[in-house]
Structure 1
Amino acid sequence: MKQTRRTLLAGLLLSAFALTACGKKAEAPAEQAASSAPAQATAAAKEYLVGSDASYAPFEFLNDKKEVQGFDVEVLTAAAEKGGFKVKFVNTPWEGMFATLDQGDRDLLASAITITDERKKNMDFSDPYFEARQLIAVGKNVTDVKTFQDLKNKKVAVQTGTTGDEVVQKLLGKTNPNIKRFESMPLALKELENGGVDAAVGDNGVVSNYVINNPQNGLATVEDTKSFAPEYYGFAAKKGNAEVLAKVNAGLKAIKADGTYDAIYKKYFAKK
């Protein structure tokens, strides 16, 4: 009888232990899921390298710390926050910049790039984020340049490979020696200041920013909305990279909807 009771008691203890053990095993997956959830939620957002020619104020320029700054930088950074990704800007000279995109050294380009049919053959663009026009810069004492056509027999400075370069080629001829090409728009405008050319043609945002901020240099601007059609800037990605452009476009849509874009625009382009 004692043997039977011992056996029964042992059996009950063993059963209780087994039930307790089973209960702990059942809780394990839930505990594991709970502990892994924060790790998934805080997973690092993907970072994209962005090429910018930081000689095109106010769109992109270097600050005192040699960091790329400007309108394009703030717009894309704000769009990245809304689109769930990060961006790192790398100062990249205009000449050769598009090659870095094609080679995979840059994921995006943010450099006041006009969307054109010719460029679309080699790269893809985000939705437009800025409307621009070409603008003429001349010396303040110049009185015989009132339209783009008035540049026909004059020496004109442009930045190589820009839409300003293209429109001047159409007016003067592609190989006309009167077209003076420079690596950056500030260099083209400096040539105008020094008297090496009669005028300079470039995007209105850049040209007007330079003239306004350098009043001592004696330059003026001439608008010709009849000759220059509106142009639209876009952020460029390698051909076929739909993933990054979808994120950029989602971010752009969000910052335009909540007023962030307008605030950045006013910061850089409000009339002073």
Structure 2
Amino acid sequence: MKTFKIVSLLFVVALVLAACGTKEVGNAGAGDAEAKSYRVGIDTTYPPFEYEEKNGDYTGIDIDLINAIAEDQNFKVDFKPMDFGGIIPAMQAGQLDVAIAGMSITDDRKKVVDFTDPYFKAGLTMVVKQGETSIKSIEDLAGKKVAAKKGTTGAKFATEKAEEIGFELVQFNDSPAMFQDVANGNSDVLIEDYPVIAYAIAQSTLDLEIVGDRLNGDEYGIAVLKGKNDELLKKMNEGLANLKDSGKYDEIVNKYLNE
């Protein structure tokens, strides 16, 4: 009888331990499920917002910002570098969940994507080879060759103005090639986001200079496919607000632009 009681007691203890073990495994699985991974489209030819270092790591304002939002909102980031013009089509094809690529908030893009609250005020500007004095305003582009990057608001702006003012538009796949084209004197002027070209000129030996006033007041936003990812959009906005409140946002921007 005593032997039976001991065996029964051991059986009960085993059941309790098994139950506890099962509960712990369940909790671990739930924790992993909470940390979702999102595919993030970036354009690594766009310093200071995003670019690739010599060791292969990605860096820049956008990279640091999305990583900080991910930490704040408990999700993981899987970066997918590509040409800027291919980012929204990749989202439409289901290859990306989100995009952060110095993307200006425009009415045309709003037809396809939902934007977060703006995270940076940019604006387009004109850039010429150093010493060029014939271009001071948009009206001076008549008869000139103007360079812009494909798929950007700079290219859209230039396309809309080309016939009105009377200039030739040349479009490039990446910013460095566009910068070099103007520096070499092949194109007379380029149109680019102010913070991008200001950083590029400061960090390189390109013989370029900014001229005239800013052409517009563009603002950058983080994008998700329209009507398809409200949960992620909410996470982005909450994370961005938290970073601004904590001072982390200013810390990230000042690291690259020293504003």
> Given the two structures, how large is their TM-score scaled by the length of structure 2?
0.87
| Aligned-residue offset at 1:68 | 2.5
Alignment partners' CA distance in 2, 1:243 and 1:175:
44
Higher mean displacement: 240-249 or 171-180:
171-180
Tell me what 1:231 maps to. Answer: 218
The amino acid of 1:143's aligned partner reads T
Alignment partners' CA distance in 2, 1:255 and 1:33:
38
Alpha carbons 1:68, 1:91 under 8 Å: kept: no
1:197 matches 2:187: yes
| Aligned-residue offset at 1:137 | 0.7
Alpha carbons 2:143, 2:166 under 8 Å: kept: no
| Aligned-residue offset at 1:32 | 5.5
| Aligned-residue offset at 1:61 | 0.9
Out of 236, 249, 255, the position equivalent to 1:248 is: 236
Alpha carbons 1:110, 1:235 under 8 Å: kept: yes
Out of 16, 20, 24, the position equivalent to 1:35 is: 24
Alignment partners' CA distance in 2, 1:93 and 1:163:
14
The amino acid of 2:233's aligned partner reads L
CA shift digits 1:20-58 (9 cap, x unpaired): 699869967973576346515642511111111111111
Structure 1 residue runs of 5 or longer lacking an equivalent are 1-9
Alignment partners' CA distance in 2, 1:180 and 1:73:
29
1:46 matches 2:30: no
CA shift digits 1:203-254 (9 cap, x unpaired): 011111111122x3321112414xx231111111122211211111111111
* 1:86-105 correspondence runs (5 A): 86-105=76-95
Alignment partners' CA distance in 2, 1:29 and 1:96:
52
Alignment partners' CA distance in 2, 1:176 and 1:148:
11
Tell me what 2:146 maps to. Answer: 156
Alignment partners' CA distance in 2, 1:76 and 1:94:
17
Percent identity reads 32
The amino acid of 2:119's aligned partner reads Y
1:147 matches 2:137: yes
Out of 236, 245, 252, the position equivalent to 1:264 is: 252
* 1:4-43 correspondence runs (5 A): 31=20, 35-36=24-25, 38-40=27-29, 42-43=31-32
How many pairs align?
257
Alignment partners' CA distance in 1, 2:100 and 2:164:
27
Q: What SS is found at the alignment partner of 1:49?
A: strand
Alignment partners' CA distance in 2, 1:176 and 1:154:
8
| Aligned-residue offset at 1:78 | 0.2
Q: What SS is found at the alignment partner of 1:206?
A: helix
Structure 2 residue runs of 5 or longer lacking an equivalent are none
Structure (1 or 2) with the larger CA radius of gyration:
1
Q: What SS is found at the alignment partner of 2:148?
A: strand
Alpha carbons 2:43, 2:81 under 8 Å: kept: yes
1:85 matches 2:58: no
> Given the two structures, how large is their TM-score scaled by the length of structure 1?
0.83
